[in-house]
Structure 1
Amino acid sequence: MRVRPSLTTRLTILFSLSSAGVLLGLGVLIWLAMDRHFADEDYAVLQDNIRLIQKIAAEGPPTSVPTRLAETLEHHAGFVAEVRTADGARLYASEGFDFGSVSDVVAKLPPDRNTFVWEHGGEEYRGMRASVEMPPTPGAPPGILRVVVGMDTQIHAHFMHAFRQSLAFYIALGALASGLLGWRAARRGLAPLRTMASRARAVTAHKLDERMPVDAVPVEMADLAATLNAMLERLQRDFRRLSEFSSDLAHELRTPLTNLMTQTHVVLSQPREAGKYRDVLISNAEELQRLSRMVSDMLYLAKMEHGITLPNAEPITVKDEVLALFDFYDALAEDKGVHLRMRGDGNIVGDRLMLRRALSNLLSNALRYTPARGSIDVEIASQPDTVTIAVENEGKEISPELLPSIFDRFFRADRSRARADSDSVGLGLSITQAIMAAHEGSIAAVSSDGKTCFTLTFPRLVK
């Protein structure tokens, strides 16, 4: 497996390469500027010497020009010159220098260019050509001299070579120094990440209260720390809910299972009449039916909480659904002496079966806790953006401190109602809340003045 370099290593390499690149670029610019400066200086010297040659040619008779040029130019170190007449006759040339290679270079120059560079004996020269006019002689017109001058660049070459060595040394030194400083800066800059990683490693199923230090990290990492804290908060909350659900589920399942085992052991302890066996089997069947309903409700609730999209979204007339449920519960309501009443109308887009189950849960709870000769009122109200369904029943109020918990799984406002003949398993309101979340709606409850009201709020359109 290839070992991936750490972020600190990558940043250190990046700092070193960036510094080396900047220093190299700066060095190249300085080198080019110095080379250009030396070239300008050499060409300026060559131009001065050409003017000197022109002055010598203008001041004296033609016969004395070669002698005066030799006396004047041979004392200039590294300077060479060749002067020819218009017909090609050499008037003067620096002693010991072969101008054959210079003639080839000059012959190839374009007419508008007078400066050039050539090599001779392993050395580089900068040259310049010019035409110098000689004064007229008695009986002859003015003459033209062809002048070629050159300057040895050896001194500049030695300097540039030493500069390149110094530049390479300082680039390497600067890259090393920037790498070390970059490593230190990266280590210090990434220290908050190591702190966050250390705290993340401390998070376990039994220790979910660790949080990232939002205030102690740089601004660039604060958003990451806040996001991780929010994730840990959700995990802690969901883990707590799962733990509570597991505990509640074990508690709820223990009672019917204990009843089943107790009754079965008792009836099998000694021979009994057939009627006694039948009674025990009927009682066991009721407990098994309750267990089956509990498992079914748990599976439905899990499906609702993890499958947010609606299975079948369609336009629904809420009034028709409420009336259909009134017909279903009419016999039970009449048997208990409870009046069912409805007001208003509204239309939503949602899943018809899910809506019926939510309303059925509320109506069944209302029928369970409404006293004889009481009433259950369902009011439907349409607003521009929402449709509300309020189910209100008379009866014992729910304590204000219990209202925030009524939508928890297996919750019962009155634990004394958790009796064997009750068909409630404490999941109805949790399922209703999950249905409302799937419809992008909400559910709320109030209980006062001898009445309890549950309000479902639907958006008019659910996508």
Structure 2
Amino acid sequence: MKRLSLTTRLSLLFMLAVTAVLLLAGLMFQQFSQHHFLQQDRQTLEEKRQATQRILAEFKGVEQFDQFKPQLRALLGAHRDITAIILDGAGNVLFAEPGPVELPERLRGMDDGEIWQWQEHGHLFRGLTARAGADVAGQGQPLTLMLVLDVTAHTHFFAAITRWFWIGLVLSALLSGGLGWLVARSGLEPLRQVTRVAASISATSLKERIPLTSVPHELQQLVVSFNAMLARLDDAFMRLSNFSADIAHELRTPLSNLLTQTEVVLSRPRHSEDYQETLYTNLDDLKHMSRMIDDMLFLAKADNGLIMPERQLVALEAVVGKLFEYYRLLADERGIQLRLHGQGSVRGDLLMLHRAIANLLSNALRYTPQGQTITVSIRQNESGTQLSVANPGPVIPAEHLEQLFERFYRGDPARREGSSINAGLGLAITRSIVIAHQGEIHCTSADGVTTFSLVFAASRLSG
């Protein structure tokens, strides 16, 4: 089944809302009008009743009734729609003006002053029964006054009003539906603009944005979110493009070396020692390329949330101690001292944490001047565990600190990671490992000391 468009839905909702309001207003008007006419009829009947009772206040017997008829005719004859019937105590008709009306017997016994309705032969009557005077000759039984008001005109009025109301309601519903469609179409123009921009987006137009000047307040958050999405896509595409260029550059160097050395060796016959030396040289380049591919696969898994670290208790000081033993020979050759302060534990993957800390130590050794000291500090408290690796060396500009963890970072030549033995992925891998452990990593560089800090929340200490 085909779904209705948003414009059609809003138009229908607008039409239903207008129709409901008009219907409610019409019902209220009908109720008010009926109440108004009822009160008006009641007032007319009450006025005639009171006036008639005043005239008949001096009534003493049936033989005197003829003297009251002129006054009654003058009072009741002015209102053509009113019929007055006066009965004596025995139920005989003493007065009927403008003529006798056949009333149901049940109406004669109505309570004094009660308003009643009666319908006959297409006419609607509204009446009132009251007691007036006293027939002394008839043992003091009062006269019965029945005032009957023909309200058929009211019925015709309401029938006409109801007919025209329904006609007007249908026309109003159709008109409101058309106006609702125009209003909805105009109001949804910003959405169509978003759609047009989204349809025109390609890899070469990610910098296009939707202006907020003509966007309604209700849609501004949507447009802001859409523009932010375009900005993220643009940034991700640029990073992917740079990444592709960087990895192509990094792979081109060892491949060129392999190709050049192989061509030179094969250019003429050589001794077996020459071939063996070339193969060893090629092996180093192949190992470099293999490490780079492994690192890229690791980062790809991390980006897609496929890295699931184990949750075993890891003593960080033990990990650092083993790494110090591994890097001791390299550090001694350059006169660099390795120091460890503090201790702490975190629940995580031992091999991943070992790799992350190793990348920081390798990076520190690469840029620490000879004869200086690299310090690893571990602090643990109620809020969590922090491991910091500090080394002296050139200060990194503040604008490059966050970019240090990007792949193939090239912002600061003083700390350039890319080389024939390092692809510039170490810090990116370290960040991915820390994030997989729900931790944070940041770098500070001031006063000739650069410090990388790994922070793990206290929740990483529980099982």
Instruction: Tell me the TM-score normalised to structure 2 length.
Output: 0.83
Moved more, 9-18 or 378-387: 378-387
- Structure 1: state its 5+ residue gaps: none
Deviation of 1:429 after TM superposition, in Å, equals 1.1
Q: Which amino acid aligns with 2:89?
A: A
Q: Which amino acid aligns with 1:361?
A: N
Deviations 1:131-171 (A, max 9, x none): 3332423xx53232233331111222233333334444554
Q: Which amino acid aligns with 1:103?
A: E
Whether 2:83 is the aligned partner of 1:84: answer: no
The residue number in structure 1 matching 2:292 is: 294
The residue number in structure 2 matching 1:19 is: 18
The residue number in structure 2 matching 1:241 is: 239
Give the 3 Å change call, closer, same or farther, for CA 12–283 of structure 1 in structure 2. same
Q: How does 1:350-365 map to 2 (within 5 A)?
A: 350-365=348-363
Instruction: Give SS of 1:198's match.
Output: helix
Moved more, 436-445 or 163-172: 163-172
Instruction: Give SS of 2:162's match.
Output: helix
Give the 3 Å change call, closer, same or farther, for CA 4–185 of structure 1 in structure 2. closer
Q: How does 1:240-279 map to 2 (within 5 A)?
A: 240-268=238-266, 272-279=270-277
The residue number in structure 2 matching 1:440 is: 439
Native 8 Å contact 1:408 1:430 kept in 2: yes
Q: Which amino acid aligns with 1:333?
A: A
Aligned equivalents of 1:442, 1:434: Cα separation in 2: 10
Give the 3 Å change call, closer, same or farther, for CA 234–249 of structure 1 in structure 2. same
The residue number in structure 2 matching 1:194 is: 192
Aligned equivalents of 1:79, 1:10: Cα separation in 2: 55
Aligned equivalents of 1:238, 1:89: Cα separation in 2: 105
Deviations 1:161-184 (A, max 9, x none): 333344445545554555555444
Native 8 Å contact 1:196 1:212 kept in 2: yes
Deviation of 1:25 after TM superposition, in Å, equals 2.0
Moved more, 59-68 or 297-306: 59-68
Aligned equivalents of 1:299, 1:417: Cα separation in 2: 19
Moved more, 323-332 or 401-410: 401-410
Aligned equivalents of 1:86, 1:441: Cα separation in 2: 106
Native 8 Å contact 1:56 1:65 kept in 2: no
Percent identity among equivalent residues?
36
The residue number in structure 1 matching 2:210 is: 212
Aligned equivalents of 1:417, 1:428: Cα separation in 2: 8
Whether 2:128 is the aligned partner of 1:125: answer: no
Deviation of 1:208 after TM superposition, in Å, equals 1.2
Deviations 1:77-118 (A, max 9, x none): 232343333333343445765525x224556x6x58722111
Give the 3 Å change call, closer, same or farther, for CA 382–308 of structure 1 in structure 2. farther
Give the 3 Å change call, closer, same or farther, for CA 92–112 of structure 1 in structure 2. closer
Deviation of 1:396 after TM superposition, in Å, equals 6.1
Give the 3 Å change call, closer, same or farther, for CA 258–151 of structure 1 in structure 2. same
Instruction: Give SS of 1:441's match.
Output: strand
The equivalent position to 1:282 in structure 2, one of 280, 283, 286, is: 280
Give the 3 Å change call, closer, same or farther, for CA 284–318 of structure 1 in structure 2. same
Give the 3 Å change call, closer, same or farther, for CA 415–257 of structure 1 in structure 2. farther
Q: Which amino acid aligns with 1:328?
A: Y
Give the 3 Å change call, closer, same or farther, for CA 278–126 of structure 1 in structure 2. same
- Structure 2: state its 5+ residue gaps: none
Deviation of 1:432 after TM superposition, in Å, equals 1.5
Native 8 Å contact 2:408 2:417 kept in 1: no
Aligned equivalents of 1:119, 1:363: Cα separation in 2: 106
The residue number in structure 2 matching 1:203 is: 201
The residue number in structure 1 matching 2:5 is: 5
Give the 3 Å change call, closer, same or farther, for CA 443–44 of structure 1 in structure 2. closer
Deviations 1:363-404 (A, max 9, x none): 122334445554433233456645443323456666777655
Deviation of 1:74 after TM superposition, in Å, equals 6.1
The equivalent position to 2:102 in structure 1, one of 86, 99, 103, is: 99
Give the 3 Å change call, closer, same or farther, for CA 42–399 of structure 1 in structure 2. closer
Aligned equivalents of 1:429, 1:331: Cα separation in 2: 23
CA RMSD of aligned residues (A): 3.5
Instruction: Give SS of 2:405's match.
Output: coil
The residue number in structure 1 matching 2:454 is: 456
Instruction: Give SS of 1:406's match.
Output: helix
Deviation of 1:253 after TM superposition, in Å, equals 1.6
Native 8 Å contact 1:347 1:460 kept in 2: no
Number of residue pairs matched by the alignment: 454
Deviations 1:295-329 (A, max 9, x none): 11111122233329862344443322211211222
The residue number in structure 2 matching 1:43 is: 42
Deviation of 1:119 after TM superposition, in Å, equals 1.0
Deviation of 1:360 after TM superposition, in Å, equals 0.3
Deviations 1:249-290 (A, max 9, x none): 111122223333444455556655444443343333322222
Instruction: Give SS of 2:143's match.
Output: strand
Deviation of 1:67 after TM superposition, in Å, equals 8.4
Q: How does 1:161-176 map to 2 (within 5 A)?
A: 161-172=159-170, 174-175=172-173
